[in-house]
Amino acid sequence: MRRILIVDCEQEISSFNPSPSEYEDFTVLRDAELFEAHAGADTCIRGFCDALGGKSDFRLIPVYGATACSAGPLSRKGFEKLSGELLAAIDKAAASEVAAIYLSLHGAMGAIGELDPEGYLLENVRSRLGLDVPIVISLDLHGLLTDRMLSNCDAIAVYHTYPHNDFTSTGQRAAKLMEAILERRAHPTMARIFIPALARGPELITETGLYGRIIDRAKAMERDGEALSAAVLIGNPFTDAPELGSQSLVITDNDAEKAQRLARELAEAFWADHKTMVAELTPLPDAIADAVRQDGPVTFTDAADAPSSGASGDSNVILSALVAAGYHGRAIIPVVDAPAAQRAHDAGVGARLRLSLGGAIDPKRFPPLEIEVEVERLYDGDYVHEFSRMPAHAGPTAVLRHENIRIIVVSKSVFMMDRAIFLAHGLDPEGADIIVVKSPGAAIRYFSFARKNYVLDIPGATSANLKSLGHTVCTRPMFPLDDDVPFSPTAQIYPARTKTAA
């Protein structure tokens, strides 16, 4: 029975979030805990295990898992501890013979002192297991695909949807790649083309946008047998790293010419539409004025402060504007502010307080707002995400009321990609007039009942106004950071190494 090691290590960061992540921000799972946590979830690990777990000739070995909400770059000490534990766990599991290893990664991690954490991990895994042990990985389409990553893995499955709803199926596609290598003796050949563009905006919604048509072609390449795997990664514009950009990726079975041709087709299709893949942002005063005229709930998308993209989550910009405008409608707004949450817990339900709210993490962008509130409800912050069915640990949480505005104050940054943060704390989004959504894609998937969605032009570490962020590391010129960016599609072929003959 062939042993396949299973590893999970995922975080997406914003280089522009001033607060670094720490090891303690990660949920770490060891051995059997990994499979137990993913058994009923919508994740790549679940999909991989579903696809291969029932096959009698494979034995799946849970090794190590570490996941955290998106945030600032992981501290140097935190990455040293995390990577050290992960590699030590692989060393232990590899004491017995290993047939292959699957790693569920994100692609947009970042650490202080290591701008390519996934590449570092894969390089070290390869050095431990050798050239003849297949390494298959899965990635978010917002991942950065680096030379070091490509040089140290055999095949890659990439998400095909945005907003993401194909976690499990991506894991299944990774399992299909693994099975092709182990059972059919496939020899994956990867062609990568770097595209100097950072894209944001509604055209990236795969169900309705131009990007979706390109992804449909990639999916057809896989479905029709032209490629083992195909994707266009759009990177995470907020992870400022040397190989940040968009990339086409096609993997064939030992056919470099076909891989190059198909990768070029995808890259050229993306480049043809790249100038339309920008966010249309609404000034906040205009959004407030228009929202008052709407008959029914609206969503204010605060993508600039999206924890799922790496922002701090402590923006009070919308709250401040509503208060200043004398807004009298019903609004619900999440804010990350541990000191405010603790003061509410200390005071108890029913207490009236004058709080400093917001800017607890990023005060330069979000000067704290002094505001009178009533403590309506208190919670421990433990609930389950709608989008993944994985647990959220937001820490001490309070629902505060300022007139008709409810503010959900959490102690720790958590994904806010669905309705769970509202529903878990006694607030029905459909009963509000304005729902503040701290995720660029959540309004479309989970708040479709809203009459209108405004994507706001406000500050934050994940602002779609990319020129406002201050990139200093990524390749230049880069659209839309620069004007008149040239593009000549050039394919790089991997692996650039020779395996031992089977």
156: β partners: 137
Report how far residue 310's alpha carbon sits from residue 295's, in angstroms, rounded to the nearest whole number: 33
State the pLDDT at residue 54.
84
Which pairing describes strands 331-336 and 405-410: parallel, antiparallel, or unpaired? parallel
Please state the φ and ψ torsions of residue 399, each to the nearest 5 degrees: -100, 115
Place of tokens 């701008």: 115
State the pLDDT at residue 1.
87
| Whether the Cβ atoms of residue 47 and residue 99 lie closer than 8 Å to each other | no
Amino acid at the residue 242: P
65: β partners: 8, 29
Coil, strand or helix at 348: coil
State the pLDDT at residue 284.
98
State the pLDDT at residue 497.
59
In this structure, the number of other CB atoms found within 10 A of the CB of residue 95 comes to: 7
In this structure, the number of other CB atoms found within 10 A of the CB of residue 134 comes to: 23
Report how far residue 90's alpha carbon sits from residue 166's, in angstroms, rounded to the nearest whole number: 27
Domains and CATH numbers, the chain: 2-277+489-494 (3.40.50.2300), 284-464 (no CATH)
State the pLDDT at residue 500.
46
Q: What is the mean pLDDT of residues 195-208?
A: 94
Quick: pLDDT tens for 145-187. 999 999 999 999 999 999 999 999 999 999 999 999 999 999 9
Report how far residue 134's alpha carbon sits from residue 116's, in angstroms, rounded to the nearest whole number: 21
Amino acid at the residue 393: H
Q: How far is CA 438 from CA 223, 248, 317, 400, 446, in A?
A: 35, 29, 12, 18, 12
Residue 330 burial class via C-beta count within 10 angstroms: exposed 0-12, middle 13-18, buried 19 and up: middle
Q: What is the mean pLDDT of residues 384-403?
A: 95
The band of 454, judged by pLDDT with boundaries at 50, 70 and 90, is very high
Q: What is the mean pLDDT of residues 181-207?
A: 96
Quick: pLDDT tens for 457-494. 999 999 999 999 999 999 999 999 999 999 999 999 99
* Token pair recorded at residue 293: 């005229």
State the pLDDT at residue 55.
86
The band of 325, judged by pLDDT with boundaries at 50, 70 and 90, is very high
